[in-house]
Amino acid sequence: MAQQDLMLKDFIKALHFSTRKHRRQRRKDPEKTPYINHPIEVAYILSDNCGVQDPDVLIAAILHDTIEDTETTPEEIAGIFGKRVRDLVMEVTDDKILDKRERKQMQIDTAVELSREAALIRIADKISNVSDLAVSPPKGWSKKRKLEYLEWTEQVVEQLKDTDPCLEQMYYRALTDARDVIRR
């Protein structure tokens, strides 16, 4: 099989895996959008908007919330997609021993330690969530809470400057748009 066919096969396998793992989950917006929309968007931002072609990065983007939000184990991911994908997913997985506030601080404090590939996923994740906050925000969130969330994403992304100019530009555009919509 040609290299490209193999890559496509693995990517479809990742889509299938992530869809099964997130199948009962919904986003926090009032319409309860299917959760899988979000990891697909993260991979799309990397690939279509910013030209990322590394198959392991795109596969890890599809899987980026499976360990954090489902019963998926790192070993399971390594067994199916290899150790590099597992390591990338682990890099963007919060430590669940910490409470929510500590996790958020941890993302700021450890951002500079991320590999470049994990940083790409981290920024694309923030672009997706910041955009969602503008168009389909979590149910019940006050204006203050939304603006605080944006502030936190900015603190994380600031630590990742010079990772990728395309993603950085896209993030700051999404941030400005979201602030405009929320303050309106």
Task: Confirm or reject binding of residue 29 to ligand NDP (CB under 6 A).
Answer: yes
* Residue choice 21, 137, 157, 163 for contact with ligand NDP (CB under 6 A): 137
In whole angstroms, give the CA distance from residue 7 to residue 163: 24
In whole angstroms, give the CA distance from residue 151 to residue 134: 14
Torsion, Cα of 124, 112, 84, 77 (10° steps): -70
Site string for Zn ion, 109-148 (x = CB under 5 A): ----------------x-----------------------
Q: Which is nearer to ligand NDP, 28 or 84 (CB)?
A: 28
Residues 111, 156: contact at Cβ < 8 Å?
yes
Residue 136 touches which of Zn ion, ligand NDP, none (CB < 5 to 8 A by kind)? ligand NDP
List the one residue out of 58, 93, 47 whose CA is nearest residue 74: 93
Task: Confirm or reject binding of residue 37 to ligand NDP (CB under 6 A).
Answer: no
Q: Which is nearer to Zn ion, 8 or 114 (CB)?
A: 114
Q: Which of residues 140-159 bind ligand NDP (CB under 6 A)?
A: 142, 144-145, 148-149
Task: Confirm or reject binding of residue 91 to Zn ion (CB under 5 A).
Answer: no
Active site residue 168: no
In whole angstroms, give the CA distance from residue 39 to residue 144: 26
What does the DSSP assignment read for 109-139?
HTGGGS-HHHHHHHHHHHHHHHHHHHHSPPT
Handedness of CA 65, 28, 42, 122 (dihedral sign): negative
Write the DSSP symbol of residue 53.
-
Residue 81 touches which of Zn ion, ligand NDP, none (CB < 5 to 8 A by kind)? none
Active site residue 94: no
Site string for ligand NDP, 45-84 (x = CB under 6 A): --------------------x-------------------
Catalytic residue chosen out of the listed positions 41, 56, 65, 69: 69
Write the DSSP symbol of residue 23.
T
User: Which are the catalytic amino acids?
Assistant: 68-69
Binding region for ligand NDP (CB under 6 A): 27-29, 38, 65, 100-101, 104, 125, 129, 132-133, 136-138, 142, 144-145, 148-149
